[in-house]
Structures are given as C-alpha cells and as structure tokens.
Amino acid sequence: MKIALILSGCGNRDGSELQETLSLMLAFDRRNWQYQCFAPEGKYRVVSHVDGKEEGERDIFVEAARIARGNILPLNQYHVDDYDALALPGGMGAARNLSTFAFNGVDMTVRPDVEQAILSTFNAHKPLLAMCIAPMVLAKVLGPYGVTLTLGQPCPASQVAEALGAKHQCCQPTEYCVDRQHRVYTTPAYMVGTHISQIFDGAENMVAAFEADFK
C-alpha cells in the first residue's frame, strides 16, 4: 500500500493534531506501507497552545513539514494514480485551513485543491480515511452522495454533517465507522477521546478494517 496524507499545519488548535497524525503514520508503518505527506500552501492564523490567542500568520505547508520531518509535497502534486488511499488526520486545521467549518458552520467551503484531491480519490474508487473533525471535510464534499461517517457522539458538528447530506454513526474513541459502499473509513479520535492510547487504538482499528477490505 502507498497512502497519501493531507496535513493542515502543525498543532491541534490550528493545524494537524500531532498525536492523531502520528497514530496514522504508525499504523501504516507497522504494515510496511509507504506514506507521503502533502499540504496546501498559503498563510493561516496561528493559535497559541498556551492561552488560545492568535499569534499572527504562518504558512500551512511550512508548518506541516515539521510533522513530516521535511518529507512533504505541495498538495497540487497529489496524483491519485500514484496512491492506494487518501487519509486526513484531525486537528482544527481541517476546520480552519482545509475548510471554513470553524468560521461558517453549515455554510462552510472547502479549499479547491483539497476538494479536488478528495473527489479524484472518490471518483477513482479508492478509499478515504479521516479522523476527529476531518470527516467534516468529507461531509461537505461527499455529503451529496450520502456518505456515512462518524464525528463521535451527537454534537453540533454531527448536525452540520447531516445537514450537508452525510449520515452520522455514533462511535466511541477506539471505534470506527465504515461506509463500504463509498469506501470511507472514519474514527472520532479526540472528538470524544481523552487519552492518547484511545487515539492510537482508534487509528489502528480503522486501518485494520481498511486493510481487511483491500488486501
């Protein structure tokens, strides 16, 4: 397997959640699968992880490179034929940088390059994996197809996902949701989780389900 990951910066409050991203990387690496990180380019507002205040602007791509240890490509270089699946770890970057869900709720938009990556993967009948709040991006893009996903328990986000046309399945932190018709795999992670062990178990269980379906 060769998996593409879309990152959205660095940090749970304003970019990709590190523990969720690393849990996905570890699940892939333990199977000897290759993975390649991608990120869109452009400025975003950085949030302090100490007091929650905004601290100016940084570049999404440059910050995401911190997680990937520099092994990262611009999202516009993602070619669906080169990969077996596309994965989106969580973190508020999915809601602030990949989309405008954090600001616009049900009126959210998704970055065109992110939407193109998701749609090209979906139309190629290849799997999509997402964690935490990242399934909201899938809900916006794939909601019209009636995709089923999880954001954990009923919450304002799940209500928006349903308003966008997606179906919501309740899950505990280590559980996952599989929509085999649309080849979508999601797990709630820190939407409901409280321990890093739950995040790693949720990612592992989701990836194991994906592996079983696409061996």
Active-site positions read 132
Phi/psi at 74 (5° precision) = -60, 145
Give the DSSP per-residue string, 30-94. TTT-EEEEEE--SEEEEE-TTT--EEEEEEHHHHHHHHTTT-EEEGGG--GGG-SEEEE--STHH
- Residue 73 is which amino acid? L
CA distance 149 to 184: 7
φ, ψ of residue 39 in degrees (nearest 5): -155, 145
Q: Which residue is it, tokens 């996903």?
A: 149
Both tokens of 112, joined, read 């065109």
Question: Do residues 128 and 86 touch, judged by C-beta distance below 8 A?
Answer: yes
